[in-house]
Amino acid sequence: MAASSIVVCGVCESQYSTTTAEFWCPECDEGLCSKCLNFHNASKALRYHGVIFIDNYKQLPPSIANISQFCSEHNRKFQNYCLQHESLCCPLCIQYTHDKCMVILSLEKVIETAKTSALLESLDLNLKDIKINFERVVKDRKQNLAEIQVQRQKFYDEIKQVRIKINEHLDSLEQRTLNDLYAAEKKIKSQIEDVLEKVAESTEKVYLLQTDMRAIKEYASDLQAFLGSKMIEKEIQTHEKFMQSLFEDASMQKIDINCKINDTISNLLSSVTTIGLVSVQSNPPLVVMQAGKEKQVQTRSVYSAPPSGINAIKLRLQTNIEYTGVTGCSVSCTGDIIFLDKYDNRVLILNEDGIWRKDVPLTIRNPFDVTSIDHKKVAVSFPRDGKLTYCGTGKGIQSVKLSGNFPSTLVEDDTLSDRSYVAAFEDKLYYTNSSHHTVTCCSLTGEKMWEYKDQSVCNPRGMSIDKDSNVYIASFGNNSITVLSSDGKQARKLLDKDDGIDNADGLAFDVDKGKLIVANNYELAVYELY
């Protein structure tokens, strides 16, 4: 639904005159007539506002058009955005409500890419996916309904053939069976039509959301686009939950009618009480729903790991790869082994059997750690300058200053050294503190969940997580590899110096194949779980 059809000039209205607005200024949040627009454009402070035609403004849905740029509590213009509370702030809001919040961003900076943000594009794709999924549901249900009709006709014909052979004695029995058959079809038809009606209602809402999206992209202000996309995101979640409920409540099960004809009816006319037994059979859905994010997931073989208890974990050396100066290591999504050679200052890539594939020279010395971003990119960190240095395909080694990307502090700890490692798995973050000899687990928002400290973990550095959330630690101080239980309450040494562990820095766990890669000072060792 578009904005109100009647918009008056705000400037004229303030002077007790009613004039129809021909233009709309999102920055001033009011309509303008042609005369007032000339004064507006002549003002040095106002001339660069993004004024649009009033007809374009009316294309905006009310929920977007009614977004105000002024704080309703303090009557001040919003100038900032609190990342912690995801809310707009005026100067007084910051002073009274958000004075202790860690990350307060400039609203102008936050919304400058609102219309070109990945979120807006993602929402657009999600709407298209939902529409396609609804179309698939409608097609599948109609096809099932057609099949039911064919099946009903098939059994109807069989019943009529039997009926012809056994004369009028079976009239009553035939009618009873046919009634059951039609009743089953009617019940199924009612169920399917109910699903189709619900889907039609949601489809209409999706069409409206798509119309709103087009209006937002073309005519909304940056602020409106930013907050509007948030609103539409919630609406999309509602439709996605509804789509999921169709599968969870058995609405999408394929339904068939069965009617088994009694084989001995011709010889047992006097004792037959029914011509056939009508039943309804439900089978798994034939239609496959696929969301946009799922389309990018690669199909990979999943390793069947041993039991999740740390006492059952056993490692067996598979490969030793001799390289001096090995620091961080990682595993790509294709199973390649990636590691750093700090002496020759390069990134090396081997296949899973340890055979060299390629290497990339680095322009900055003393690389620290490496991680695989996707099948084309890796990121390399250096303990200096507050920069993230990474390898970009077709561009070589790139460097970006973190200070330019609005970094937020999740965990405040001034004791972390440049030898502290961090890892993420599912909804948790893990990091080592080599100064305090601790391993900490926290939520994605920085709330500490547990911390482990014991002599078994000395000067911890590299870490990696398996599929059961067990934490593998490279203890540089006592030349060992230790595994911690997922709750951080138990520890067990897996490897030590007798197993060839010497100044281990980096660890990487290949979840798909159940392999642990250890970056020692003079070699790269690959262990398999058994």
Q: What is the pLDDT along the chain (530 residues), one digit of tens a residue?
A: 344 578 899 999 988 888 999 998 888 888 999 999 988 988 888 888 888 899 888 888 887 877 888 898 998 989 999 888 888 999 999 988 898 887 788 888 888 777 776 677 778 888 888 888 888 889 888 988 998 999 999 888 888 887 777 777 767 777 888 888 899 999 999 999 999 999 999 999 999 999 988 998 888 888 888 888 889 899 899 998 988 898 888 888 888 998 887 676 656 666 667 767 888 888 777 666 655 544 433 323 334 344 457 888 888 888 888 777 777 888 887 788 888 888 888 888 888 777 888 888 888 777 878 888 776 777 877 655 444 443 344 444 345 554 444 445 667 777 777 677 888 888 788 888 888 889 999 887 778 889 999 888 888 988 899 888 899 999 988 889 999 998 888 899 999 888 888 888 888 998 888 889 988 877 888 898 87
Closest by Cα among 26, 12, 85, 93 to 57:
26
What's the Cα-to-Cα distance from 27 to each of 30, 31, 43, 282, rounded to whole Å?
8, 11, 14, 58
CA 84, 383, 433, 521 dihedral sign is positive
pLDDT for residue 80: 92
Q: In what order do the strands lie in the sheet with 369-372?
A: 369-372, 378-381, 387-392, 396-401
For 461-471, b/e burial (b = at least 16 CB within 10 A) is bbbbbbeebbb
* Burial group, residue 71, by CB count within 10 angstroms (0-12, 13-18, 19+): middle
Asked if residue 166 lies in contact with residue 172, where contact means CB atoms within 8 angstroms, the answer is: no
| SS3 (DSSP) at 25 | strand
Q: Nearest CA to 347 among 519, 489, 500, 112?
A: 519
The CB-side HSE value for 139 (13 A sphere, CA atoms) comes to 10
Q: What span, in angstroms and rounded, lies between the C-alpha atoms of 275 and 236?
A: 50
Query: From CA 341, how far away is CA 448, in angstroms rounded?
Result: 34
Residue reference for tokens 């990121």? 379
Asked if 327 contacts 368 with a C-beta cutoff of 8 angstroms, the reply is: yes
pTM: 0.41
Can you give the pLDDT at residue 302?
34
**How is residue 148 written in tokens?**
């039911």
- Cα 152 from Cα 365, distance rounded (Å): 76
Cα dist from 478 to 283, 497, 498, 509, 526, whole Å: 58, 8, 12, 21, 20
Tokens of 119: 């979120």
Nearest to 306 by CA among 297, 298, 316: 316
- The torsion angles phi and psi of 442, rounded to 5 degrees, stand at -140, 170
Q: Which helix (H) or strand (E) holds 205?
A: helix 171-219
CB atoms within 10 A of CB 375: 11
Contacts of range 337-342, beta carbons closer than 8 Å, 24 or more positions apart: 337/508, 337/517, 337/524, 337/526, 338/370, 338/372, 338/378, 339/370, 339/506, 339/517, 339/519, 339/524, 340/367, 340/368, 340/369, 340/370, 340/380, 340/506, 340/519, 342/366, 342/367
Buried b (16+ CB within 10 A) or exposed e, 148-164: beebbeebeeebeebbe
User: Longest Cα pair distance anywhere in the chain, in angstroms?
Assistant: 102
Three state DSSP letters for 254-308: EEEEEEEECCCHHHCCCCCCCCEEEEEEEECCCCCCCCCHHHHCCCCCCCCCCCC
Does residue 53 sit in helix, strand or coil? strand
Give CA separation, 81 vs 49, 78, 204, in Å.
21, 8, 34
**Token pair of 60, please?**
């905006």
CA-CA distance, 201 to 241, in Å (whole number)? 15
Cα-Cα end-to-end distance for the chain: 61
Our separate counts of H helices and E strands in the chain read 9, 28
Cα angle value 248/251/253 (rounded, 5°)? 90
φ/ψ of residue 98, rounded to 5: -115, 25
Closest CA to 79 of 223, 185, 198, 274: 223
The CA-based angle 119-122-126, given to 5 degrees, is 135
| Phi then psi dihedrals of residue 40, to 5 deg | -60, -45
Predicted pLDDT of residue 290: 57
In sign, the C-alpha dihedral spanning 200, 202, 203, 208 is: positive
Provide long-range contacts, Cβ within 8 A and 24+ apart, for 109-113.
Answer: 109/406, 110/81, 110/226, 111/222, 111/223, 111/225, 111/226, 112/222
Residue by residue, DSSP assigns 357-408 as EEEEE-SSSS--EEEE-SSS-EEEE-SSTTEEEEEETTTEEEEEEGGGS---
